Amino acid sequence: MKKFLKKWMKYFFFAGFFSLFINTLALTFPIYMLAIYDRVLTSHSLPTLITITIGAVFALLVLGILDFFRSRLLVKAGVDMDKTLSRPVLTQMLKASCQINKSSYDEGLKDINILRNYFAGNAIFGFFDAPWTPLYLLVIYLMHPILGLFAISAAILLLMLGILQELLTRKRSGMASVIASQERNFISTSMRNAEVITAMGMLDGIKAHWKTLNREVMILQTQSNRFAGALSSVSKSFRPATQVLIYGLGAYLVLQNKSTAGVIISASIIMRQALNPVEQLMNTWRQTTDARGAYKKIDALIKSTDLDEKMELPPPEGQLTLEGVSLGAGEKMILSNITFSLSTGEQLGLIGPSGSGKTTLCRLILGIWPAGAGTVRLDGADVFKWDKNHLGAYIGYLPQEIEFFSGTISENIARMGDMDPDKVINAAQMSGIHEMILKLPNGYDTRIGGYGGVRLSGGQRQRVAMARALYGGPKLIVLDEPNSNLDDAGEQALLKALTQLKELKITTIIVTHKPSLLTSVDKVLMLQDGQIANFGPKEEVFSRLLGAQQPTASPIVSGAK
C-alpha cells in the first residue's frame, strides 16, 4: 500500500494545503465580531462597518470555494483508490480462496468501498482540521492568556476523552468485526447447502450455531457502543459547558477591566472552532476505526500479491512434466515425489482410491496450488509462475463441484469473457450438448446461475461445464470425474469428445474410477497414499494390476476422489 500512497499523496497534499487557508479563513467571523464590538460600536463609523463586512463576506465566499475543492479532492482520492486497488485485491482474493490453506478474508472489495466512502464523507475532514487547533488556541491566548490557558485545558480534556474512547472500544470492535465475518460466511455456506440442511433435518442445529455467533457479535457491539455512547454524550455536553465557562471567565475579566466584550464573543467562537475537529473525530470514530481496519486488511493482502508484470510466454503446445512434486498440509504429506511426463496430445488416466491425492495433483498441474517441492512444467515453464491471464486461455478444467456465474449459457461457456459464437457452438457440439441447449427457452441466451436462472440437472451442468473446458481450443485439459452425473447418452458423448481431443493432439488428464473412460488414454497413473503406485502405458499398467489382484476384482473401481 505504501507505493500506492505515494500516488495518492498529491490529493492529500493539496487537501492539507487547502486546509491551511480554510482554517485561517475560519477566523473571519470571530475577528469580524471583535471588530464590530471593539471598533464599530465604539466609533460609530459606518464606513468601517461597510468595509469589514464586505471583507468578511468575500473571505467566507473563498472559504466555501476552498472547502468545496477540498471535498472534491478527497472524493477523487477515494475513487482513485477504488480503481487502483480493485483489480489486485480481487485477484488476490480469488487466489487466496483456492489455496490449500484457504484464507477467510473475502471482503476485500467491501473494504475498498469502506475506504472510498470514508474519503467521500465528512469524517476525514477532522484529520485535516485538527492540526490547526493549536493555531486557534494561540489566537485565544494572544487575546488574553487566561482565556488561552482555559481553552488549552479544555482541548486537552476533550482529547483525553477521545483517547479513552479508543482504548475502550478498539479491541471489542475488532473482535466483533471478526466474528461478524464468520457469521456472514456461515450464513452464506448454509444458503448454498439449503437442500442438505432441509433434507437431513439440520435446521435446528444450524440456527443454534448461528445464534451463538450472533449473540457474541451483539455482546461485543453492545459493550463497544455503550462505552462510545457514554463518552459521546459527555463530549456533546462538554463543549457547550466550556463555552459557558469561557463566557463567564471573559465576563469576569471585563468586570476587572482586563478585557473587552468583543474578546469574550470572539474567544468563545474561536474555542468552538478549535474543539470542533476533536469532537468531530470522536463522533465519527466508528467510521475511522472501520476505515483503519479496512486499510490494514487491504495492506496485508496487497503485500502478499505479486503486482509485477510478467513477460508473456509463447502459447504452450501441451508438453507436461512433473519433477519430484510433493505437497504437504501441516505435518501430513498429501503428495510425495510425483514424477512423470506427457508428450503433446497424450491422454493420461488418473486413478486411485479416495483420498489418494488425485484432485490435489490436478490442482498442482493446473497451477492453482504451488508445489511444496519439485516443479510442474508446461512446455518447460513453471506452470504456477505462469501468468494465469495468459495461460488460462490454453487450459481446460472440469472440476468435481460445478458452479456457474449469473449469465447466459453462451457467456458461461465463453468463460465470461469476449464471446466468439463459433467457438461457443463448436465447444457445445464437442461436448454433445448443442441440441439440448437449442431446446431450452432461449437457446444459448438462456440464463443460468444466480437468481432467476434456469435450473439444470446434474448431468446437464456437467456437460455445459465440459463445453466451457473445451472452449477456445485449449492445449491442456484436466477432467476430474467428468462422468459422475452423466447418463448413458452423456457418457457416449464424453467418449466421443475424448476421441476428438486425441485427434486434435490436446494433452488430456482424466480422473475417473470407471474403466470405460480409459479406452482412449495412452498412459495410466495410479496414486496410492499420495505416491505413484503404478505408471506407464495403459496396457502395461492394466497387466500389472490384473496380475497383482484377484481375477474378479476391478483394478480401478475404488473411489471417486
Cα separation, 85 vs 50, in Å, equals: 53
Residue with cell 453492545: 222
Distance CA 52, CA 156 (A): 34
**What pLDDT, on a 0 to 100 scale, did the predictor assign at position 55?**
93
Q: Is residue 314 part of a domain?
A: no
* DSSP-derived pairing of the beta strands 523-528 and 347-351: parallel
CATH code where residue 263 lies? 1.20.1560.10
**Selection from 362, 345, 352 nearest residue 526 by Cα:** 352
16 domain residue, yes or no: yes
Measured between alpha carbons, how far is 320 from 322 in angstroms, rounded to an integer? 7
Q: Which of 123, 141, 161 is the last residue of a domain?
A: 123
Residue 164 lies in a domain: yes
Residues 253 and 340 in one domain: no
Distance separating alpha carbons of residues 501 and 513, to the nearest angstrom? 20
Are the C-beta atoms of 119 and 81 separated by less than 8 Å? yes
pLDDT of the residue at 551: 45
Cβ proximity of 560 and 484 under 8 Å: yes
Amino acid at 501: L
- Terminal Cα-to-Cα distance of the chain (whole angstroms): 41
| Residue with cell string 492445449 | 475
Q: Which residue type does 271 have?
A: M
Total structural domains in the chain?
3
In a domain? residue 521? yes
Residues of the chain above pLDDT 90, percent: 28
460 with 510, same domain?
yes
Last residue of a domain, one of 123, 152, 169: 123
Any bridge partners for residue 326, and if so which?
Answer: 373
- Confidence at residue 351, expressed as pLDDT on a 0 to 100 scale: 92
| Same domain, yes or no: 248 and 201 | yes
Element (H, E) at 206: helix 203-255
Cell numbers at 113, concatenated: 468501498
Residue 294 lies in a domain: no
For 130, which DSSP code?
G
452: left (phi over 0), alpha (psi -120 to 50) or beta: left
Q: Report the CATH number at residue 525.
A: 3.40.50.300
Q: Do 265 and 197 share a structural domain? A: yes
Q: What is the rounded distance in angstroms from the CA atom of residue 69 to the CA atom of residue 255?
A: 45
Domain end marker among 102, 123, 144: 123
Residue 315 CA to residue 336 CA, distance in Å, equals 30
Domain hosting 267: range is: 133-283
- For the chain, which ranges sit under pLDDT 50? 104, 550-561
Task: Tell me the sheet residues that pair with 340.
Answer: 322
Regarding whether 53 and 111 lie in a shared domain, the answer is yes
What pLDDT score was predicted for residue 170?
73
pTM: 0.67
Question: Domain for residue 289, yes or no?
Answer: no
Report whether 455 contacts 398 (CB < 8 A). no
- Please report the pLDDT score of residue 559 as a whole number: 41
77 shares its domain with 26? yes
Residues 342 and 469 in one domain: yes
Phi-psi region of 486 (alpha: psi -120 to 50; beta: other; left: phi over 0): beta
**Is 412 in contact with 440 (CB distance < 8 Å)?**
no
β-partners of residue 333 are 328
Residue 141, domain member (yes or no): yes
Residues 416 and 497 reside in one and the same domain: yes
Instruction: Give me the phi and psi of 329, to 5 degrees please.
Output: -125, 105
Check whether residue 221 and residue 341 sit in a common domain.
Answer: no
Do 4 and 86 share a domain, yes or no? yes
Same-domain check for residues 340 and 453:
yes
Give a yes or no: residue 518 inside a domain.
yes
Query: Tell me, what's the pLDDT at 561?
Result: 39
Grid cell locating 364:
498442482
Same domain, 418 and 471: yes
